[in-house]
A = this chain, B = another copy of it.
Amino acid sequence: MPKGGEKQEVGFMLVLVLGFFYLIDHFGFDEDRTFKQRYLVADQYWKKDNGPILFYTGNEGDITWFCNNTGFMWDVAEELEAMLVFAEHRYYGESLPFGNESFSDSKHLNYLTSEQALADFAVLVEYLKSSIAGARHSPVIAIGGSYGGMLAAWFRMKYPHVVVGALAASAPIWQFNDLVPCGTFFSIVTNDFKKSGTGCSESIRNSWNAINHLSSTDAGLQWLSNTFHLCSPLKNLQDAAVLKNWLSETWVNLAMVNYPYKADFLQPLPAWPIQEVCKFLKDPSLSDKALLQNVFRAVNLYYNYTGEASCLDVSQTATKSLGEMGWYYQTCTEMVMPLCTDGVHDMFEPQKWDFDALSEECQRMWGVRPRLSWILSMYGGKNINSHSNIIFSNGGLDPWSAGGVTQNITNSLVAVVIPDGAHHLDLRSRNPLDPKSVQQARALEICLMKQWIETARHSH
């Protein structure tokens, strides 16, 4: 075991919280300072004689939060006799290369890329294997969800000498450039609402014009502010646009966390939260005000299920454990994922994908411009069939499945589809209310991981 860590109760089990010093820049030699990156280790079930290591490729947030929301790894640790490692992504949580200055300008942000993060992971795995007694020949499997799922897949693609395989859950590796239609994402969100209650998606589609009508007068803005219990009242049309964006994001988030049981991922929520929300949204033909009062009741369920919120804040849509600043910068550089709506195949206000507008905004915000096709040049886009040992799992309810791999590419690039699953449901803890589809998905994932481990063992 690495020494000097602090023991913490993180969710289910005791983990050791450790730090490792990385180079701030793996790809250049002028900047040779290091920074401390946090990682968590749990070895209760690890077979010390080269038992496997499940390595969580941290994504855009605090690693303890991801650790708590990746119960799958805890559930399989005993069966696989595996050590669990959760590595925090640079520029998130406590792993800030320049401390409080990390987000101050484009110079300090320059080292926030997926390539640097993968290099961090590679160096960390090598360090663990060389420093932990009995781990030298431990097969390592990368596991991640969402952006972390992309990282897990890319980690296997770029560093196959470091990880024997990857479980990439809900990883939209094809949500780039023109690989998939930009509208599918929002049409999946819409379908989730359509299926969850009569009149539900239509009510939401009608809500936008209702807001537009009301926000054209000061009295209407005042009414909206009161009705939605907003912390800061709406003052003008621009504020009304912020309200609409916030509502849109709320519906998207609900689609992502539409889990079959009570859970607390982005927010504390009941089982099948979209069904609960849709109970308020049965009649799309109501008057503007009646419709929006229902919309408030719907979003209030998302933001205030615990009843603790005294007002609703349109600048926040999810847990503060996510690193919004860092992710905003990443979407302004590498992680350019085209999305669009047409109001016909989806329940949203029509909005074209506008790269130039994004580029201008990024230049203004961060002093950088996004590179639309770089991720494809780097990671291969759809032309990835020479790689091996990657599971791409996707939930049918999850809008991010629009950019995911949902059909087998080869015998060893396997797509697992979970029709009743939302965003990386398979990575969550076992639950009595789990649909059969996610139970089977996990069984297949475990089976394939065991095969990789066996193959790796025989190669020694």
Contact = CB atoms under 8 A, between A and B. Distances in A.
Nearest to A28: B110
Contacts of A384: 161
Interface in A207-251: none
Given A161-B381, A386-B161, A386-B388, A369 B29 contact: yes
A30 B387 contact: no
Nearest to A332: B29
A31 to B, nearest CB: 8
Interface of A: 23, 26-32, 106-107, 109-111, 113, 115-116, 119, 122-123, 126, 158-162, 333, 367-369, 371, 374, 377-378, 380-381, 383-389, 459
| Residue with the highest number of chain B CB atoms closer than 10 Å, among A111, A161, A369 | A161
B374 A26 contact: yes
A161 B383 contact: yes
Given A119-B377, A377-B119, A377-B122, A30 B106 contact: yes
A119 B116 CA distance: 15
Contacts of A378: 119, 122
A180 B24 CA distance: 30
Contacts of A27: 27-28, 113, 115-116
Contact of A377 (B123, B369, B381): B123
Contacts of A119: 377-378
Given A26-B374, A374-B26, A161 B380 contact: yes
8 contacts: A27-B27, A28-B110, A28-B113, A30-B106, A31-B110, A32-B369, A122-B377, A122-B378
A405 to B, nearest CB: 14
- Secondary structure type dominating chain A contacts: loop
A48 to B, nearest CB: 22
A369 B30 CA distance: 9
B380 A160 contact: yes
Contacts of A29: 106, 109-110, 113, 333, 368-369, 371
Contacts of A160: 380, 386-387
A430 B408 CA distance: 45
Contact of A158 (B26, B111, B158, B389): B158
Contacts of A371: 23, 29
Contacts of A367: 30
Contacts of A26: 374
Contacts of A387: 160
Closest 4 CB pairs of A and B: A161-B380, A161-B383, A160-B386, A29-B368
Contacts of A369: 29, 32
Contacts of A116: 27
Contact of A28 (B111, B122, B380, B385): B111
Contacts of A380: 159-162
Nearest to A164: B386
Contacts of A109: 29-30
Given A28-B111, A119-B377, 15 more contacts: A26-B374, A28-B113, A29-B106, A29-B368, A29-B369, A30-B107, A119-B378, A123-B377, A126-B377, A159-B380, A160-B380, A161-B380, A161-B383, A161-B386, A162-B377
